[in-house]
Chain A
Amino acid sequence: MAVFWLIGIVLALAAAGLVLGRARALACVGGDARGLHSRPVYHGWTVAVAVLGPVGLVLTFWLLVQPLYVGAVVSAMLGDSADPRGLLLAEVRRAAEGLEAAVETGVIPAALAEDARADAAEITRRLKAAGQVVTSDLTAPVLRAAQRTLALNASGDRAMAGVVLAVALAGLVLALRRIAPAFRARPVVERDLRALLIAAASIAVLTTLGIVLSLVFNTVGFFRLYPAAEFFTGLDWAPSFSGRGGASDLGVLPLLWGTLYISVVALAVAVPIGLFAAIYLSEYAAPRFRALAKPLLEVLAGIPTIVYGLFALLTVGPLLMRVFGEAGLGWMQSGTAVITAGLVMGIMLIPFVSSLSDDIISAVPQALRDGSYGLGATRSETIRQVVLPAALPGIVGAILLAASRAIGETMIVVLGAGAAARLSLNPFEAMTTVTAKIVSQLTGDADFASPEALVAFALGMTLFVLTLGLNVVALVIVRRYREHYE
């Protein structure tokens, strides 16, 4: 709450700086803006940036460092304890939060909460009565540590508010004094703006990096507990949860096989249909029909995949059962199978293939078609021998993009393909994929120190490397074979 108000005040100061800076710039040349190096509004912005920039840095730094400092102090207070340090610290944090909430709602007087000689049992009783969850009774050291946490945080927040306001005011005053007719305000603002843009771009990149690093570290952790050779070459997937005891078989091959099999079925559905649709839309359809049909096709891409999953489970599965199941040909045991998930996933991928390919085919210059027609080629000859080869790199890129979507797809597989990990060639059998198993390994009560949970990260890493590789291949193909048209 305090931080919220602080930011509000700083923003108000910055807004004031914007207006004041502009006015001051105009005033110092007697109202004639042509006497200034930069337009008045740039002078205003230098003031606003001088307020916001340093405050942003100070605030970020402070908010990061204060919890670390408090944690270190409290940790030193507790000294060496038999309890695992992490659990004890978590308990202190919960107690501190409980105390703070209780004081705010008035259940415990502030004086009692801060009293260094307050009785631990008394506080526990009052906290429990107030509904502030305290799982076990507070011990005296924990209570003292919690009280110290609160005190440190309170003084820290006060100091932060003081420092931030001082920095903001100093920035305001200094920037206002800097304004002069010859002051080059525009380059300053543009430099700051560029810094802002760079920061925005780096956040995206750094987040990606962070995700990859967390995957890598947890994967390494998993390989400490479980041999990598068995993970990559194991033919069985049979995790046993700690409750049942015994060792797990965590071989990735059955899952990879399921992933690739279902993806291949999906692409076998999506690529011909999508490509033919794209050729029709770009080469044959009347413009008015295309304008109507293309957005409709793209609506398919907007359907949440869980809805496709339901479609697989409730419609496609039973339909296939009627033909291939017990009542029909007798090849299928249940509605959830590779073929079900593959068909539905293929339908999901059609708009990816068709829409991208349509754009790519339409981008082939009309001059090439004219050249072909001018030689007496028919429309289909032109499409097969000139337009499609010219568009091929882009189409391959679109297909690989669809393939990486298929490999990463989860919900359709969870609902449509079953949960059995097996190595089989029969498309009418249930199989499962890497993504579906990541879900099942991490849902429920997962103990993040066991190989059964950590394997999810190794699976995620495998998937990441696989799709990354596909994307790289797609990029290379598109780059190498792309024709440059003016």
Chain B
Amino acid sequence: MFDAPHPTLATPTTPPTRTDPKIAACNVDVHYGTTHALRDVSVEIEDRTVTAFIGPSGCGKSTFLRCLNRMNDTIDSARVTGVILLDGEDIHDRRVDPVQLRARVGMVFQKPNPFPKSIYDNIAYGPRIHGLARSKADLDGIVERALRRGAIWEEVKDRLQASGTGLSGGQQQRLCIARAIATEPEVLLMDEPCSALDPIATAQVEELIDELRASYSVVIVTHSMQQAARVSQKTAFFHMGRLVEYDATSKIFTNPEDARTESYITGRIG
């Protein structure tokens, strides 16, 4: 859509080093109407890393995830305060368009939500609206690449014109992941992507997440601590709207600092 990088969301002139955070959140508070859903959360999310958010239901982890691409803007009663930087730039800056932000920070939802279109059109949706393809052949290539990376190409390559809603739950979720990848985001947010999937599909999605780490920063909300341990390098534990502990996954699961974290991972609260 734009030949030159967008002025307000330009990539930093110096490429980010391994230690530069991709996303830096500082003192983020979220209110839904009168409910204080998230309190004073500060977190730094690294590039090319899988970060897991764990915590009991209603602890604010999904709410925080939705802050990162301003999806809370679509909820009328939601109010977000605090600073969130993407590559050093405030995503709440008045010059930042949430639409462009979401093209850079993709999202996969808890329930598979394929559009009522063909499999091909589902994948091509994002590239089309962002003008990523110059020709039909170009678009075909993007669609095939996304479906391959979504580990679903072999299953659907013969029926790309079939409806996306006719796939099984696991296939739908992988279609949605492929759809998110097709727009080439820099960060991929996944909100409990495996909660509706059987163990086999879950394993496929987890494998996919591991592959995505090579090129993206992935943030995943999950209720399964095994999953967090398997796929993530960093883990954040949320409780009662607060970020309790954030550290390397191996440390959180073997030697947590906070008593609440230990209670949760050993199954005493939640």
Q: Which residue of chain B lies nearest to A483 when distances are taken between CB atoms in the complex?
A: B116
Any chain A CB within 8 A of the CB of B107? yes
Judge whether A376 and B125 touch: CB under 8 Å.
no
Contact in complex: B179, A365 (CB < 8 Å)? no
- CB < 8 Å neighbour of B76 from A287, A368, A372, A390: A287
User: At the interface with chain A, which of B79-87, B96-104, B148-156, B234-242?
Assistant: B96-104
Is the beta-carbon distance between B113 and A368 smaller than 8 angstroms?
Answer: yes
Decide: A374 near B106, CB < 8 A? Known: A365-B113, A367-B111, A368-B115: yes
Max chain B Cβ within 10 angstroms of own Cβ: one of A374, A378, A381, A484: A374
Which of A223-278 touch B at CB < 8 Å? none
Pick the contact of A375 from B76, B102, B111, B114 — CB < 8 Å? B102
Complex alpha-carbon distance, A230 and B114, angstroms:
55
Contact A374 B109 (CB under 8 A): yes
In chain B between 104 and 134, which residues have their CB closer than 8 angstroms to a CB of chain A? 104, 106-109, 111, 113-117, 125-126, 129-130
How far is it, in angstroms, between the C-alpha of A375 and the C-alpha of B115 when the chains are bound?
12
Query: Is B14 interfacial (CB-CB < 8 Å)?
Result: no
For A374, give the chain B residue with the smallest CB separation: B107
Residue of A nearest to B117 (CB): A389
Cβ of B176 under 8 Å from chain A: yes
Separation in Å of the B96 CB from the closest CB of chain A?
Answer: 12
CB pair B100–A376 under 8 Å, yes or no, is yes
Smallest distance from the beta carbon of B223 to chain A beta carbons, Å?
19
Known: A367-B109, A368-B113. A375 touches B125 (CB 8 A): yes
Give the CA-CA distance A365 to B176 in the complex, in Å.
Answer: 16
B219 within 8 A of A: no
Q: Which residues from 190 to 234 on chain A have a C-beta closer than 8 Å to any C-beta of chain B?
A: none
- Chain A residue at minimum C-beta to C-beta distance from B182: A375
Residue contact A371 to B71, C-beta cutoff 8 Å: no
Query: B54 to chain A: which residues have CB within 8 Å?
Result: none
A459 CB to nearest chain B CB (Å): 41
Category for how many chain B residues contact A: 20 to 34
Beyond A370-B74, A385-B125, A483-B165, whether A375 also contacts B113 by CB under 8 A is: no
Q: Which A residue sits closest to B128, measured CB to CB?
A: A385
Given A368-B113, A370-B113, A371-B115, A376 contacting B126 (CB threshold 8 A): yes
Chain A's interface size range is 20 to 34
In this assembly, does A373 line the interface, its C-beta being within 8 Å of a C-beta of chain B? yes
Q: Does B51 contact A (CB under 8 A)?
A: no
Give the distance to chain B from A348, nearest Cβ to Cβ, in Å. Answer: 32
Find chain A residues with CB under 8 A from B126 CB: 375-377
| A93 close to B (CB within 8 Å) | no
A386 contacts B by Cβ under 8 Å = yes
B183 surroundings in chain A (CB, below 8 A): 375-376
**In the complex, chain B residues 55-95 whose Cβ is within 8 Å of any chain A Cβ:** 69, 71, 74, 76
B180 at interface, CB cutoff 8 A: yes
Chain A residues within 8 Å of B116, by CB: 368, 389-390, 483
Q: Are A376 and B71 neighbours in the complex by a CB distance under 8 Å?
A: no
Query: Is the pair A367, B113 in contact by a Cβ cutoff of 8 Å?
Result: yes
Pick the residue among B101, B115, B165 that contacts A372 (CB under 8 A): B115
Contact check, A371 vs B109: say whether CB atoms are below 8 A apart: yes
Question: Digit string of A346-388 for contact with B (CB within 8 Å is 1, else 0)?
Answer: 0000000000000000000101111111111110010001100
Contact B74 A369 (CB under 8 A): yes
Docked-complex contact B165 and A374, CB < 8 angstroms: no
- Asked if B129 and A376 sit within 8 Å, CB to CB, the answer is yes
Chain A residue at smallest Cβ distance from B122: A371
**Of residues 6 to 29 in B, which have CB atoms within 8 Å of A's CB atoms?**
none
Query: Which chain B residue has the least Cβ–Cβ distance from A392?
Result: B116
Q: How far is the CA of A367 from the CA of B126 in the complex (A)?
A: 16
A374 pairs with B102, CB closer than 8 A: yes
Q: Report the bound CA distance from A365 to B101 in whole Å.
A: 23
Cα(A386)–Cα(B109), bound, Å: 16
Tell whether, in the assembled complex, residue A375 and residue B180 are in contact, meaning their CB atoms are under 8 Å apart.
yes
| Residue of A287, A367, A369 with most partner-chain B CB within 10 A | A367
A447 to chain B, nearest CB (A): 57
CA distance A32 to B117 in the complex (A): 64
| CB neighbours of A370 from chain B (8 A) | 71, 74, 107, 109, 113
Q: Are B103 and A375 in contact (CB under 8 A)?
A: yes
A374-B71 contact, Cβ under 8 Å, with A381-B129, A483-B165: yes
Q: Which B residues touch A389, using CB under 8 A?
A: 115-117
Complexed CA–CA distance, A114 and B99 (Å): 95
Q: Cα distance A180–B101 when bound, in Å? A: 77
**A385–B128 CA distance with the chains assembled, in angstroms:** 11
Closest to A377 in B: B129
Is the Cβ of B176 less than 8 Å from the Cβ of A371? yes
Q: A376 with B99: in contact, given A369-B74, A386-B115, A389-B116 (CB under 8 Å)?
A: yes
Do B113 and A378 touch (CB < 8 A)?
no
Q: Is B106's CB under 8 angstroms from A371's CB?
A: no
- A287→B116 CA distance, assembly (Å): 26
Q: Which chain B residue has the least Cβ–Cβ distance from A365? A: B113
* A residues with CB within 8 A of B: 286-287, 365, 367-378, 381, 385-386, 389-390, 483-484
Q: List 20 A-B contacts (CB under 8 A).
A: A287-B76, A367-B109, A367-B111, A367-B113, A370-B71, A372-B115, A373-B74, A374-B102, A374-B108, A375-B129, A376-B100, A376-B104, A376-B183, A377-B99, A377-B126, A377-B129, A378-B99, A385-B125, A389-B115, A483-B116
Closest CB pairs A-B (n = 5): A376-B103, A374-B107, A367-B113, A376-B102, A375-B126
Q: A368-B116, A375-B106 are in contact. List 9 more A-B contacts (CB 8 A).
A: A367-B111, A367-B113, A370-B109, A374-B109, A375-B107, A376-B126, A377-B102, A385-B129, A483-B165
